[in-house]
Amino acid sequence: AEDEIILFEREMKEFWTKLKSIYGTEQINQTLALRDSCKESIKALSEKWSKKLKEGDLMIDKIQEYSNEILQQSQRISENQEHLTEIKSNLNQEEEQKKDLTDSIQELKEELMKKKEIISSKNKATKERMERLCKSKVLFEERLGLEIRRIHNEQLQFIFRHIDHKDPDKPYVFTLSINEHGDYEVTSCTPPLDCIAELQLKVRETNNFSAFVANIRKAFTALSYK
């Protein structure tokens, strides 16, 4: 646009020179006024378009600025979306871990309940067996001269008398318990008997407790004659 203005001014000067050589002063002045008017119009038009060009440049810069801002916001949205996806994935993993933990706890509870039932069953069987032993107390005392006492840790103490004919009141004692496997176990024997382990094994095999007590009394009796 500026090059066109310069070219136009040059042509106007050439036109003015030719006109001056042909016409008079008055006509020249009129032409000059017309020229000045044209120049003012051209100047106003030039300033107008120059302003519009500057406004256009500012608008382009503004649009570019908005575009950059939109791009940055889009990137932030994309990053936030990725972060949200990561959080969601972590939550899903935690939910799965929570479910696994809940299942493990439930399995442990069920296993614990089974163990409690087993222990309860064993305790019940042990209690019933001890009660049967206590019910046999009178029979053993009358026939074998035996005294049975319940002592600590759910053990039974068997005290034989009238074995040593020289000292009828001398006690011959063994202590019996039922171990964690539900088997009879002799925890002490006074005086000690060499055959106690064999007798203990036999009563576990046969479950004939009366014979077991009778055999121990026979062993004590045999010991008293030595």
| % pLDDT > 70, the chain | 82
Q: What is the pTM of this model?
A: 0.41
pLDDT (tens digit per residue) in 44-70? 877 887 787 788 778 788 878 878 888
The helix (H) or strand (E) run that includes residue 175 is strand 172-178
Let me know: does 172 contact 220? Beta carbons within 8 Å.
yes
H helices present in the chain, as ranges: 2-22, 25-135, 137-144, 196-206, 209-224
Could you give the angle at the alpha carbon of 61 between the alpha carbons of 59 and 67, nearest 5°? 100
- pLDDT of 170: 94
For the beta carbon of residue 220, count every other beta carbon within 10 angstroms: 21
> Distance between CA atoms of 9 and 2, rounded to whole angstroms?
11
> Distance between CA atoms of 184 and 200, rounded to whole angstroms?
7
Q: Which long-range contacts (CB under 8 A, 24 or more apart) does 39-43 make?
A: 39/9, 39/12, 42/5, 42/8
- pLDDT of 188: 96
- pLDDT of 193: 96
Let me know: does 178 contact 130? Beta carbons within 8 Å.
yes
pLDDT band for position 26 (cuts 50, 70, 90): low
- pLDDT of 27: 65
DSSP secondary structure code for residue 23 in this structure: S
- pLDDT of 154: 83
pLDDT (tens digit per residue) in 110-152? 887 787 777 676 667 667 766 666 666 666 666 667 899 999 8
> Distance between CA atoms of 186 and 199, rounded to whole angstroms?
10
pLDDT (tens digit per residue) in 187-208? 999 999 999 999 999 999 999 9
Q: What strands lie across the sheet with 155-160, from one edge to the other?
A: 146-151, 155-160, 172-178, 184-190
How confident is the model over 171-200, as a mean pLDDT?
Answer: 95
Let me know: does 151 contact 157? Beta carbons within 8 Å.
yes
Higher pLDDT, 5 or 138: 5
- CATH code of the domain occupying 145-225: 3.30.457.50
- pLDDT of 191: 96
pLDDT band for position 24 (cuts 50, 70, 90): low
